[in-house]
Chains A and B, each alone.
Chain A
Amino acid sequence: MERNITLIALFAALIAALGLIPKLTLAFGVPITAQSMGIMLCGTVLGARRGALAVLLLLALVALGLPLLAGGRGGLGVFAGPTVGFLIGWPVAAFVTGFIVERWRTGPLALVASVASVIGGIGAMYLFGVVGMAILLDKTLIEALMLVTIFLPGDVIKAVLAGMITAALARSRPSSVLSRS
């Protein structure tokens, strides 16, 4: 019980800390932050339920007014902005990612976690994000999808990295990778 809570809280804190890592810029000028990789890691390491709870906890603190999102953003304003769909998709993304890692137990963890991160951290997250943008910017779903495609290559890289990081953590802290224990 205590361990579940501290792992959930510390992973929420980890997502916040990852937002502070200076962002990399891809060759074609699209900035990527490590924060959405934190969402994927919550799922791949903590599993579906605990991963989603860690993300929800972070979002609750953001709503309370703490600047925990990448670039020091936070407060109620982020839930009124055009990217709110992605924030709503975050806990779902962590849940789906964790669910896949928990169920798919054959195969190397790095591969499983990467594929799970693509399905959950990209598929599920973009589903919510694109619908949100379509509503708030008054665009069709196809138009909204076109607007976010430039971020796809960066997110695929992050999903692969999340898989490798999960495998490395499973080697160094085997008992703490709850999605596989």
Chain B
Amino acid sequence: MISLTSPVEIWSHRLPAGLKLAALSLATLLLFSTDNPVLLGGAVVAVAGLYGTGGAVFFRQGLRNLRVLWPFLLLIALWHGATGQMAAGLVVALRLLGALALANFVTMTTRLSDMVDVLTVLLTPFRRLGLSTRALELSIALVIRFAPTIADKGKLLSLSWRARSPRRPGWRIVVPMAALAIDDAEHVAEALRARGGLEQPRRP
């Protein structure tokens, strides 16, 4: 499955994921603790500079990842333009832009496996308490494995619908999609039980 990690390797890929996540949390906290447009503007410029160190291709990819924010920025501009509170609007827009871009930066420069490692470390206290985290680890693998499979089945269902009807399939294919997902779940559960199930191996 495609992940959102950037194919362009930059320096930040080599930093420990835990450090990047801690820095991101701290930076986001700071962004939300100030109402000063100059500070926020400076933060956005700094984040843009961070993207700039990755080169032109990386920078453009970063811009594309921000496209979800445009409707909201437009909305803020219209709203605050109409009510005449441009300074307040600028603060909201800069803060959103900075926080979102910084979070995307961490996602773009951290491999999925490194993120999973951080999650495993964060779950250590639960294992110390004797709780099994195998269920979680297994379910993560199952989702990564089955999300594309179910999507493919959905595509096949909509193709066969089109072969039979001139109308669009729409929501009607959701019933067979969900039924197939349920069937897959039953089969995988059976296969897991046949291989000894999720119980930890017993020590003699």
On chain A, the residues within 8 Å of B107 by CB distance are: 65, 74-77
Is the pair A173, B182 in contact by a Cβ cutoff of 8 Å? Answer: yes
Given contacts A14-B150, A81-B69, contact A8 B102 (CB under 8 A): no
B residues within 8 Å of A by Cβ?
A: 1-5, 24, 28, 65, 68-69, 72, 75-76, 79, 88, 91-92, 96, 99-104, 106-108, 110, 112, 115-116, 119, 135-136, 138-140, 142-144, 146-147, 149-151, 153-154, 158, 170-171, 173-175, 177-179, 181-186, 188-189, 192-193, 197-198
- Please count the residue pairs between chain A and chain B whose beta carbons lie under 8 angstroms apart in the complex: 188
A 98-118 to B, binary, CB cutoff 8 A, 1 in contact else 0: 000000000000000000000
Give the interface residue-count category, chain A. 35 or more
Known contacts A6-B192, A17-B177: A77-B104 contact under CB 8 Å = yes
Q: What are some 16 contacts across the A-B interface (CB < 8 A)?
A: A2-B198, A6-B189, A7-B185, A9-B146, A14-B177, A60-B140, A65-B3, A65-B112, A66-B4, A68-B147, A80-B28, A137-B75, A137-B96, A139-B79, A169-B175, A176-B186
**CB of A128 closer than 8 Å to a CB of B:** no
Other-chain contact of A169, B79, B119, B178 (Cβ < 8 Å): B178
Within 8 A of B (CB), among A62-81: 64-68, 71, 73-81
Chain A residue with the shortest CB-CB distance to B199: A1
For B76, what are the chain A residues with a Cβ–Cβ distance below 8 Å?
137
Q: Does chain B have a CB within 8 A of A152?
A: no
CA distance A139 to B75 in the complex (A): 12
Give A contacts to B, CB under 8 Å.
1-3, 5-14, 16-18, 20-21, 24, 34, 37, 41, 45, 57-58, 60-61, 64-68, 71, 73-82, 136-139, 147, 161, 165, 168-169, 172-173, 176
Please, which residues of chain B bring their CB within 8 A of the CB of A68?
143, 147
Q: Complex formed: what's the CA distance from A45 to B102 in Å? A: 37
